[in-house]
Structure 1
């Protein structure tokens, strides 16, 4: 029997109205949204369900909104009584994975990511940082390019190693633009500037990481009940202390997503269930390995289909 991994999405998967029908149909789901409003003393649920989209996409709002919706959808999925052998999340999604593994309480997680979003927004003045997706280039060659540009004085680094041929770079605006041009000259298929509010997962985020460390020092982080695959190392973390260190490092380090999925494949995971809005991670898993079973749970229909296929397959 193959193993099961739950995956949780990060920033970019948000949309106005996410989780609304789930909340209307299910009291336990609705309760998660209410708990977020209470902990943050704000009308987060109203923003998630009704928008406006421009406000939802502000990092300080997006991060708690996505975490809340992912955990609400996890709550709905509990009915299936399917347990993960491993959990992982992309960037912000790692906090959802930690709630799933009971290393973090939901209230602490939603507060931590609200603060994390705020620190990330404040770390670099508006317009000075940038990110770009570079398609169709080898990781080692792109790293050579970013290292070369950084040596000239402005930092640019690999930020998200999502799947073969899809890597996001991050750093100062000028350095990202220069690295994008060189990458295209050296054979990259495309370089797409991303509409983000800062150079996430780059060394420019170190001030945000320092502030986040203070927040996490005042939060109870337990040992995880299920192995969590950390973005920073693409390996298992269980101890509360190690989890805290990795969450701080994660702010300014690359998200090793392709490596994370490959690690899970090496542990005999053959069923990946993405829980939360959108299906970005499901798409990335399929690009890394076409043979595994991949499901997205983001509404009642997809939940029922997932349960039916998995339970049916096990019968």
Structure 2
């Protein structure tokens, strides 16, 4: 069974849209996105543009859909799709729950709401080597000691946790985590406090916006962010996308569910390979391929071979 993984904010690198390739499906996707957003989307991946949450989030959606369409032209269609944070929008397009044009406009609205709520002074930190329970105890202690609350934003793996909060709170928490035995505590290239209650008002506004966005029941498997479970109705996918900015992303749960449903080959959309690395570390018996690490003329044949081997 083939599963597609779509990365979230933090995976972006300068020029990532320019590196997608020259396949007709990719060019068509870039052209469609430019028409919908009324701008040249190849301006979204410059170093200056990547300071914008709006540019990063819309660019990641475009990259994910471009890859999915290019592989579809090679006879590859996923049976399961999941995306981390904003990557969930590309997953929803991949499974047919929302049209690409509608997803572009909704992602732009999402990013604008997040950026307006916290234009500066906030972000995310990745902590490696501590469990969620250990992280929560440290966060509670910091809140008591310093009134500097941080929040669990993503549970990417049992000992890979992303925290959200203010810059000062995250810097203090990084030091606290390292002192408590964390292997690594690193600030991420994200300028908003994603996936916590700090974005409750923004999530409410996006929920209002999403009521007028057409959704359909997924035509293939869609695994949600909030609960890490398969979602089967249009309303369930709409709610997952509209509210995921205020809730912890249960990525490891989502990955585990895909394994339990029979996924044997995972393909991560550009850019980056963070999600691929998690699959390889947690489930070494499966095949995990990061699309950005192979030229397209090798990518599709490699996926076909892995699927044949898995069968």
Q: How far, CA to CA, are the matches of 1:200 and 1:21 in structure 2? A: 27
Question: After the TM superposition, which residues 1-315 of structure 1 pair with which residues of structure 2 at under 5 Å, given as runs?
Answer: 3-20=1-18, 22=20, 24=22, 26-45=23-42, 47-48=43-44, 51-127=45-121, 129-150=122-143, 153-298=147-292, 299-310=295-306, 312-313=308-309
Q: Is the 8 A contact 1:98 1:228 kept in 2?
A: yes
Q: How far, CA to CA, are the matches of 1:115 and 1:151 in structure 2? A: 35
Q: How far, CA to CA, are the matches of 1:166 and 1:78 in structure 2? A: 32
* 1:99-119 Cα shifts (integer Å, max 9, x gaps): 011101000001111111111
Q: Is the 8 A contact 1:89 1:95 kept in 2?
A: yes
Deviation (angstroms), 1:183: 1.9
Q: TM-score, normalised by structure 2?
A: 0.91
Deviation (angstroms), 1:311: 5.6
Q: Is the 8 A contact 1:297 1:306 kept in 2?
A: no
Give the stretch that moved more between structures: 184-193 or 283-292: 184-193
Q: How far, CA to CA, are the matches of 2:310 and 2:82 in structure 1? A: 23
Q: Is the 8 A contact 2:106 2:210 kept in 1?
A: yes
- 5+ residue gaps in structure 2? none
CA RMSD of aligned residues (A): 2.1
Query: What is the number of equivalent residue pairs in this alignment?
Result: 308
Q: TM-score, normalised by structure 1?
A: 0.90
Deviation (angstroms), 1:312: 4.9
Deviation (angstroms), 1:151: 5.0
CA shift in 2, pair 1:307/1:175, >3 Å: closer
Give the stretch that moved more between structures: 262-271 or 222-231: 262-271
- 5+ residue gaps in structure 1? none
Q: How far, CA to CA, are the matches of 1:261 and 1:29 in structure 2? A: 27
Q: How far, CA to CA, are the matches of 2:180 and 2:10 in structure 1? A: 28
Q: Is the 8 A contact 2:10 2:189 kept in 1?
A: no
Query: After TM superposition, where is structure 1 displaced by more than 6 Å over at least 4 residues in a row?
Result: none
Q: Is the 8 A contact 1:19 1:72 kept in 2?
A: no
* 1:293-313 Cα shifts (integer Å, max 9, x gaps): 112223414423424423653
Deviation (angstroms), 1:170: 0.6
